[in-house]
Amino acid sequence: MGALVTRASFRISLQMTEVMNAAAFSKRVRYNPNNASDIHTPQKGVTMFRPMRRSKQQLPHEEALAILQEGSTGILALSGDDGYPYTVPLNYLYVEADEPEALGKVYFHSAKAGHKIDAIERDPKASFCVIADDTVLPDKYSTAYKSIIAFGTVRLIEGNLAHKALFDLGDKYNPHHEDRTLEEVNSAEHKCAMIEFTIEHLTGKEPHTYRKQREQREQQE
């Protein structure tokens, strides 16, 4: 009898969670520059973005940017064939913006043809996710992690901008070897497409319970 009650309670709890999630997902909010929980002002007009449902887990803007700056691999999400989402892991280069209100750009390299290029030419809207400090916590059946997700638009670039982006991308992963990197770029750039992702919205997340564990671990070290 106790097991049946427990299972029933569990099902009710799941149903309530689904209802709450559906209500949260049905909402949209305009960015409010006077709201400290919002990270930035959209560059053009007013763009609608969802707020982070668990706002206590939201990272400060500087920590979110640090994850983006220090990461090595991220997941680019595009609108793929027949409406299916298309996500692909990529190396990337983040470049800070010159304008104070802008959030910067991310650069990727790609083959000149394929699913990714077709998706970009069909729909420029995209998102990009980077995960950091992903540690398995067996006793909690979970992981301790930090992550960022950026929303924006992508486009293909050419010429000097593409050349510089490809060189800086190579220099990120193999620094202090400029001559070799330049040789690689000069020999490979005719086979590469360069993609520029302009960030319009950025949030970072770290579950607060895991933040406490990380801070305690750092103090012990």
Identity of residue 182 = L
d(CA 214, CA 204): 16
What average pLDDT does this structure show over 211-221? 70
Q: Which of 29-43, 105-119, 201-215 has the highest mean pLDDT?
A: 105-119
Confidence band for 98, pLDDT divided at 50, 70 and 90: confident
Segment 16-75, tens digit of pLDDT = 444 444 444 334 434 343 343 444 444 455 557 777 776 678 898 899 999 999 999 999
Radius of gyration of the chain (CA): 21
d(CA 68, CA 85): 22
pTM of the predicted model as reported, rounded to 2 decimal places:
0.74
Mean pLDDT of the chain: 81
Residue 58 has a pLDDT of: 83
- The residue behind tokens 């190396």 is 91
Segment 172-188, tens digit of pLDDT = 999 999 999 999 999 99
Query: By mean pLDDT, which of 2-11, 16-25, 41-50, 204-213 is the weakest?
Result: 16-25
What domains appear along the chain, each with residue ranges and CATH number? Answer: 54-220 (2.30.110.10)
